[in-house]
Amino acid sequence: MIVTVGNTKGGVGKTTMAVQLALARALAGRDVLVVDGDRQGSAQMAIAVRTEAGRLPGLTCVQYPDGPVLRAQVQRLATKYDDVVIDAGGRDSTALRAALILSDRLIVPFLPRSVDVWALADIAGLVDEADAVRDGLQAFAVLNAADPGASGDNAEAAAALADFPRLVLLDAPIRRRKAFANALGLGLSVAELTPRDAKACEELAALAFMVFGDQVNIKAD
Amino acid sequence: MTINRGASARKSIKPAEAFIGSAPDARRKGVIRGRKEQITLTIAPELLAKVDALAGRMGQSRAALINRAIYELAERVTA
């Protein structure tokens, strides 16, 4: 399956989520390719840290910030891997658009903040444009760095998704936890991090199940 | 059967390329004049004097001579 973690808005935790999802699959025994579609190359850096540490299972990572190159190369590479996770966006880019053409599923992380909710219109618009060019893209949004506990902001942000019917809410929020950032810096899954953050592990497992599972649990409101 | 009415056939490759090429980072930053792109070139005054003298002898403009020199070098190097 080809999954893109993407958003035209920056700072929503795309790279952290993409690498964590890729590692969750790798730890489940899948051969995973990570495609870094960002010139900054943070995903590639995190995976390089993992590789240098000799940590297994390994992840293969390639960086294609140029959309046409990403499209051509990932089309060739996708058949050689069980799963492909593309980290793309931060702005409207050729890489993000190429990823929207290629992917089976788009996961849009967003924060429970007004500016993030406003920015959903941009990525929803791009999904609409992609729909005019291809069939079958499944587009989901998921709360990232959500407030701890039962937060009114989390619920309001989730409810605001109703304005964008093309983005289906995945009811597997990732909360704001240092474990995710720390794990990324070490090229590790939160499941490999010590001391272990059990809640972070549970959240990631729930998200990975929904993203890669055959049956995606769609929250019915 | 040669008739394919599938949706995937209607949505061909070219619209996908146009969609990807519509992103802001796909646009060229340079100034296009006709079929050529304008660039800024700094050059030593002595070398520029030689270029101008040669262009004058060959009855060519400065730009035409520089273009020709680069073309010939590129052809030679890549041959």
Query: For the whole model, what pTM was predicted?
Result: 0.76
Quote ipTM for the complex.
0.80
Nearest partner of A101 among A31, A17, A4, A186, judged by Cα: A4
Q: Quote the Cα angle for A135-A137-A139, to 5°.
A: 150
Asked whether the beta carbons of A13 and A145 are under 8 A apart, the reply is yes
Q: Which of A97, A132, A135 sits opposite B23 (nearest CB)?
A: A97
Query: Tokens for A189?
Result: 């899954």
pLDDT, mean of residues A25-46:
91
Residue type, A168: V
pLDDT at residue A18, as a whole number = 96
Q: Is the pLDDT of residue A216 over 90?
A: no
Q: What is the pLDDT of residues A59-112, one digit of tens each?
A: 999 999 999 999 999 999 999 999 999 999 788 999 999 999 999 999 999 998
pLDDT at residue A215, as a whole number = 45
A53 contacts: CB under 8 Å, gap ≥ 6: A186, A187
d(CA A63, CA A38): 7
Chain B residue set in contact with A, beta carbons under 8 Å: 7-8, 11, 15-26
Provide the residue ranges of all domains of chain B, joining segments of one domain with +: 29-79
Nearest partner of A56 among A180, A188, A201, A184, judged by Cα: A188
Q: What percent of chain A is predicted at pLDDT more than 70? A: 95
Size of interface A-B (CB pairs under 8 A): 48
Q: Is the pLDDT of residue B70 over 90?
A: yes
Q: Which of A67, A94, A134 sits opposite B11 (nearest CB)?
A: A134
From A30-44, A59-73, B5-19, the region with the lowest mean pLDDT: B5-19
Q: Nearest chain B Cα to A128, which residue?
A: B19
Give A60's DSSP letter: E
Question: Using a CB-CB distance cutoff of 8 angstroms, which residues of chain A are in contact with residue B16?
Answer: 71, 101, 133-134
Residue whose structure tokens are 């990823």: A99
d(CA A149, CA A216): 24
What is chain B's length? Answer: 79
Give SS3 for A59. coil
Q: Is the pLDDT of residue B46 over 80?
A: yes
Q: Please state, rounded to an integer, the average pLDDT across all residues of chain B.
A: 83
pLDDT at residue B52, as a whole number = 96
pLDDT at residue B13, as a whole number = 58
Tell me the pairing of strands B36-38 and B31-33: antiparallel
Asked whether the beta carbons of A155 and A121 are under 8 A apart, the reply is no
Asked whether the beta carbons of A23 and A59 are under 8 A apart, the reply is yes
Q: What percent of chain A is predicted at pLDDT more than 90? A: 65
Model confidence band, residue B69 (pLDDT cutoffs 50, 70, 90): very high
| CATH T-level assignment (fold) for domain B29-79 | Arc Repressor Mutant (1.10.1220)
pLDDT at residue B32, as a whole number = 78
Q: Do A101 and B21 touch (CB under 8 A)?
A: no
pLDDT at residue A113, as a whole number = 85
Nearest CA-CA distance, residue A72 and chain B, Å: 11
Q: Which of B8, B15, B20 sits opposite A98 (nearest CB)?
A: B20
